[in-house]
Chain A
Amino acid sequence: MQKISRRDFLKSLGIGTAGVALFEGASAVPALAKENLPDFKLGPFKLKRTKETASVCAYCGCGCGIIVYSENNKVVFIEGDPDNPINEGALCPKGTTISDVSSFVDKKSHQRVPNRQRVTEVLYRAPGGSNWEVKDWDWAISEIAKRVKKTRDESFEEKDDKGVTVNRTQAIAHLGSATIDNEENYLMYKLMRSLGVINLDHCARL
């Protein structure tokens, strides 16, 4: 089988990482008849310069298509993907406001501002501490690896009381996640099972 990488394929179409079928001219709204158009002068089409990216809503299990319009690495607008057979352009209140997780229109300034609630730093809380401390990725990842190794090595069971090889630890648990993508879950799963984790679950159980 000939293997074309996705990146090569999209490059050949000249649309970067945008959705493949979007430039077929599909539209979420049927064209208005000319006589029905309002008689005031239309302003500039704000989405004209934006990049369109096909995505899938992050909320319920329907899998509705969304189109993310972005400019200068900022989300400008999100609407339902008219090509996706599930929702055909429509969205619910959660899907409609899904841009809020990144940025939203501030009521006072009418400008789009970043969602300041987002966690944007690596944070650490020491035992008994009363605050988060800002740390860097390298420090956090290497400290996490040390904690994992210590807990795993102190609790590791190579054989059970019947002499069966079990190679497990019961002192580490993992929860998650149905909000995370397949390939990410696959790596998380390999990571946990490689450590011998059996306390492993996610919210499908709930």
Chain B
Amino acid sequence: MTNHFVDYRNADVFLIIGANPAEAHPMAMRSIGMAKGKGAKIIVVDSRFTKTAAKADIYAPLRPGTDITFLYGIMNYAIQNNLYHHEYVVNYTNASYLVSPEYGFADGLFSGLAEKDGKLAYDSKKWDYQKEGENIKKDPTLQHPQCVFQILKKHVSRYDLKTVSQVTGTPEDVLREVCAAYCATGKPGKAGNVIYAMGITQHSYGSQNVRATAMLQLLLGNIGIPGGGVNAQRGKSNVQGCCDMGMLYHLLTGYLKCPDAPKHPTFKDYLKVETPKTSYWSNTPKFLISMLKAWYGEAATQENDFCYDWLPKLNGKDHSHMAIFADMAAEKVKGLFAWGQNPAVGGPQAAAERTALEKLDWMVYIDVFENETAAFWKRPGVNPANIKTEIFMLPAAFSYEKEATVTNSGRWVQFRWKAIEPPGKAKSDLWIADRIFKAIRQEYRAGGKFPAPILNMVWNYDLPGHDEPDLEKVATEVNGYTVADGKVLGTFANLKDDGSTACGVWIYCGYWAIDPKEEDPRLKVPAAQRRSREDKSGLGLYPKWTFSWPLNRRIVYNRCSADPAGRPWNPEKVLMAWDGTKWITNDVPDFKAKDPVTKEPVPPEKTANAPFIMLPEGQGRLFASGMKEGPLPEHYEPVESPVKNLISKQQNNPLAKRWKGEFAKLAETASKEFPYVATTHRLIEHYQTGTETRNSPWLVELMPEMFATISLTLAGRLGIKPGDEVIVSSARGEIKCKANVLPIVKPLRVNGSTIEIVALPWHWGYQGLAQGSIGNDLTPYIGDANTSIPEYKGFLCNIRKA
């Protein structure tokens, strides 16, 4: 999230697309409701009439997988009617940049697509900016036909409201109402807030869906301001933190790239490729070297490239969730640590993933309950005697049975204290990780393959007299310290690339520091433990409530909250303002407000052209050459779709990730066998795969069993009554559950034909107090081109009475 949950209260209009906060993030809905109480408008775009939609001023139904078309409809309306925020667009985005004459777009494809080694890929050089020496050529009048603004204007002009309505199934009058209401936030001083969740991301072009939300917000001047932003609501209490810690194959900590053999064979190559000349990433060497110092301590020296080669390198290939299970099925992956995860229910085509688990030699499973993944070897329909996998199930402590920090979607790193001891033999994950590492290190003391990174890894977390590792020592390492004296660092601005600082996760620098200027003794604690409700700005920033990365900044890109001359767009809600001699800063500035050496204020004109400090060009990207399938989003149909693409001849994202064999079971376009569109969703009573909530008696009583929701018309046609048992099937298999017949799902008119939708929650499995069919047994093994997230939202199915 660029903003945070409390900040929702500052919004004027919400565009909630692909999210259902009333059920999936109920306390976010509380803040949305508080804004509504002050006059804010709520627009909900969803294929189901959700509980969030029930509170909306405008509800727009749309066919799953047509979000780009919908968002382009709004952008086209804003440009055609001159409702975009012109001054913001000219100054804070790349709208004026000239693009290479080699850029082109025809028939749904961009220039530069070619096949290499049997795989399609774009040559993104065709989409480069035009340069004069080192400088990008620009046209601030936005009139040049090769400037980003004109390219975008032409690209979205194909998405007029009539066409949008034919693709999305949203009635044209509703679309017009949405456009008028949301484009009103293009006026300076108005805040439009885009909220999304998995309804946007879980598509074969999910990253481009996200891009479309960001582009809309840039056009309307809604990023970096109170009440605005692009706000991705995370589904778990620490998805944000877990990503921050680097727990994704392609990352090191703090979003540094994981070394990849083809790209970064040596330390020098890594630094060359990953260190841009401009933007905050120009500090990459400081972040990486400080991480290597935190990990390898004295062994990491300038002479040995700080042990860069001890980090494993990728092989240029995908190693994400789906790739891991495909490799497991192919018996390439032999051992698995499943730590608080339940792929047997949560993975795509889950039945095939359960079968893949049988190929493992061993699995270490760590959780609070015995879920479906832990029990895969005794699941219904299999004979345990035939499954050779050895399984260790380790009992873990629950959240309030241990202490540490978690990071919410709004980047607030909050400390939670320990209330009680875990039951029986259960232990914290900190203890378990510590013991497993020490035991492995013990094994390697006697020799083994390349033991150096194991034997030399800094691992000194013992707390004399205590069984648990010392959390403070771990936190200090995550935060960063000076090597010479172990002093906790307050800011990543002090990290060095000479090995004199160590820092596990650079973006967390400061979270464990005590503010030396703080006078209140109750607040002289590590920043993440602060509990002050002080809010001098009245904007709900709560700067002394815990710590918000980076640098306790609550709203990122906040230079954009004021015009180039430093006057706030909204004088009532001031984040940053230039008073003629200095900056008034209600939040931590996301720009150089003071010269770091002279400490003199830096006047606004010096920062007006680079408010997006993480981007090399310093300005927000309406056109982004780093995306795999094109610099601009384009509508493609989900890989399984009931209709042909109306926008172009290109039916699907040409770069969508696909797998082979068992994982290639797909229905054809407009399949007669699977005529309905299926989508998955969540319920307020359950959490993810239900590991905890299906073992909580109250919640099980509230929401006991699996169901599929269909419209009154479809139920009538198939003779299905509410509560009947039904079979829902897809090209991957079939499941049995109850039918829920309610007008919260309605058929959509798409280009003259009627499309019915089947909505499936996915919280059930064969373990726990409440059992039921696994919704994900039906979902396809198809991934987004950039991130490999599965296409859970929008696939084909059939339904019949059982």
A binds B: yes
A residues near B (Cβ < 8 Å) are 1-6, 9, 13, 17-21, 51, 53-66, 68, 70, 73-75, 83-87, 90-95, 97-98, 100-102, 104, 107, 114-115, 117-130, 132, 137, 140-149, 151-153, 155-156, 158, 160, 162, 164-206
A201 near B237 with CB under 8 A, answer no
Q: Specify which of A70, A90, A175 is in contact with B27 (CB 8 Å cutoff).
A: A90
Q: CB distance B242 to A180 under 8 Å?
A: yes
Minimum distance in angstroms from A108 CB to a CB of chain B: 12
- B335, B347, B377, B529: which contacts A171 (Cβ < 8 A)? B335
Question: Quick one: which of A19, A124, A141, A185 contacts B241, CB cutoff 8 A?
Answer: A185
The smallest C-beta distance from B762 to any residue of chain A, in angstroms, reads 11
Asked whether B636 is an interface residue with its Cβ less than 8 Å from the other chain, the reply is no
A118 CB to closest chain B CB (Å) equals 6
Residues of A within 8 A of B58 (CB): none
Please list 27 pairs of residues, one from A and one from B, whose beta carbons are closer than 8 Å in the complex, sorted by A's number.
A2-B516, A18-B417, A21-B532, A53-B417, A55-B417, A56-B415, A56-B416, A58-B399, A59-B692, A63-B412, A75-B419, A83-B531, A84-B545, A115-B696, A119-B369, A119-B396, A123-B392, A162-B261, A166-B313, A167-B312, A168-B315, A178-B238, A181-B404, A185-B241, A196-B450, A198-B314, A203-B688
Give the contact-size bracket for chain B.
35 or more
User: Which residues of B (418-467) have their CB < 8 Å from a CB of A?
Assistant: 418-421, 423-430, 433-437, 439-440, 442-444, 448-450, 453-454, 457, 459, 461
With both beta carbons as reference points, the residue of chain A lying nearest to B411 in the complex is identified as: A63
Residues of A within 8 A of B514 (CB): 1-4
Please determine whether B426 and A120 come into contact, CB atoms closer than 8 angstroms.
yes
Interface residue B195 (Cβ < 8 Å from any Cβ of A): no
For B458, give the chain A residue with the smallest CB separation.
A190
Which chain A residues lie closer than 8 Å to B417 at the CB level?
17-19, 53-55
Q: Which of A86, A121, A185 interacts with B424 by CB under 8 Å?
A: A121
> Which residue of chain B lies nearest to A7 when distances are taken between CB atoms in the complex?
B472
Contacts of A55 in B (CB 8 A): 399-400, 416-417, 419
Q: Give B691's nearest chain A residue, CB to CB.
A: A179
Minimum CB distance partner of A101 in chain B: B398
B296 nearest in chain A by CB position = A194
Checking A101, A151, A164, A205 against B787 with a beta-carbon cut-off of 8 angstroms, the contacting residue is A205
Least CB separation from B265: chain A residue: A164
User: B13: CB under 8 A from chain A?
Assistant: no
- Using known A-B contacts A120-B425, A124-B391, determine if residue A54 contacts B247 with beta carbons closer than 8 Å: no
Cβ-based interface call for B401 (8 A): yes
CB-based contact B450/A178 at 8 Å? no
CA distance A147 to B478 in the complex (A): 29
Report A-chain residues with C-beta under 8 Å of the C-beta of B320: 201, 205
Whether A153 contacts B449 by the Cβ 8 Å rule is yes
Those of B357-407 within 8 Å (CB) of chain A: 361-362, 364, 366-370, 377-378, 384-396, 398-407
Q: How far is the CB of A99 from chain B (nearest CB, A)?
A: 9
The CA-CA distance from A85 to B335 in the complex, in Å, is: 43
Whether B413 is near chain A, meaning CB under 8 Å from some CB there, is yes
Knowing A4-B514, A86-B6, A171-B335 are in contact, say whether A181-B406 is a contact too (CB < 8 A). yes
Chain B residue at minimum C-beta to C-beta distance from A135: B392
Query: A101, B695: Cβ atoms under 8 Å?
Result: yes
B285 at the A interface (CB under 8 A)? no
Inter-chain contact B234/A170, CB cutoff 8 Å: no
Q: Cβ of B146: which chain A residues have Cβ within 8 Å of it? A: none
Beyond the given pairs A86-B5, A104-B697, A182-B508, 11 more chain A to chain B contacts, judged by CB atoms under 8 angstroms and listed by A's residue number, are A20-B525, A59-B236, A100-B697, A102-B400, A141-B439, A148-B436, A172-B337, A175-B341, A178-B236, A201-B321, A206-B790
Q: Which of A17, A58, A122, A152 contacts B418 (CB 8 A)?
A: A17
Alpha-carbon gap, A204 to B474, bound state (A): 23
Q: Which of B27, B348, B516, B526 contacts A92 (CB 8 A)?
A: B27
A124 CA to B321 CA, complexed, in Å? 25
Determine if A149 and B448 form an interchain contact, defined as CB atoms under 8 angstroms apart: yes
The listed residue (A144, A186, A202) touching B436 by CB distance below 8 A is A144
Question: A82 → chain B, closest Cβ, in Å?
Answer: 10
Q: Are A175 and B378 CB-contacts (below 8 A) given A68-B419, A86-B5? A: no
Cα–Cα, bound, A198→B385 (Å): 31
Contacts of B435 in A (CB 8 A): 137, 141
Q: Which of B448-501 contact A (CB under 8 A)?
A: 448-450, 453-454, 457, 459, 461, 469, 471-472, 474-475, 477-478, 487-488, 490
Determine the distance from Cα of A135 to Cα of B26 in the docked complex, in whole angstroms.
Answer: 41
Q: Answer whether A127 and B440 are a contact pair too, CB < 8 Å, given A68-B420, A186-B505.
A: no
Does any Cβ of A come within 8 Å of B410's Cβ?
yes
Q: How far is the CA of A115 from the CA of B699 in the complex (A)?
A: 13
- The reply to whether the CB of B769 lies closer than 8 angstroms to some CB of chain A is yes
| B335 pairs with A9, CB closer than 8 A | no
Does B169 lie at the interface of the complex (its beta carbon under 8 Å from any beta carbon of A)? Answer: no
Task: Report B434 CB to chain A, min CB distance, Å.
Answer: 6
Across the two chains, which residue of chain A brings its CB closest to B541? A85
Residues of B within 8 A of A181 (CB): 238, 241, 399, 402, 404-406, 416, 429-430
**Residues on B with beta carbons closer than 8 Å to the beta carbon of A101:** 368, 398, 692, 695-696
- CB contacts under 8 Å to A, within B239-253, are 239-249, 253
Q: Are A175 and B789 in contact (CB under 8 A)?
A: no
In the complex the two chains form, what is the Cα distance from A25 to B311 in whole Å? 50
**8 tightest Cβ-Cβ pairs between the two chains A and B:** A120-B424, A63-B408, A176-B339, A61-B234, A177-B340, A181-B404, A92-B26, A100-B696
Chain B residues near A6: list those with CB within 8 A. Answer: 472, 525-526, 529
B248 to A201, Cβ gap below 8 A? yes
Q: In the complex, which of the residues B26, B247, B348, B378 contacts A189, with contact meaning CB atoms closer than 8 Å? A: B247
Q: Which residues of B contact A182 (CB under 8 A)?
A: 238, 241-242, 244-245, 404-407, 413, 478, 508
Residues of A within 8 A of B405 (CB): 181-183
* Interface window among B186-194, B218-226, B326-334: B326-334
In whole angstroms, how far apart are the Cα atoms of A171 and B346 in the complex?
22
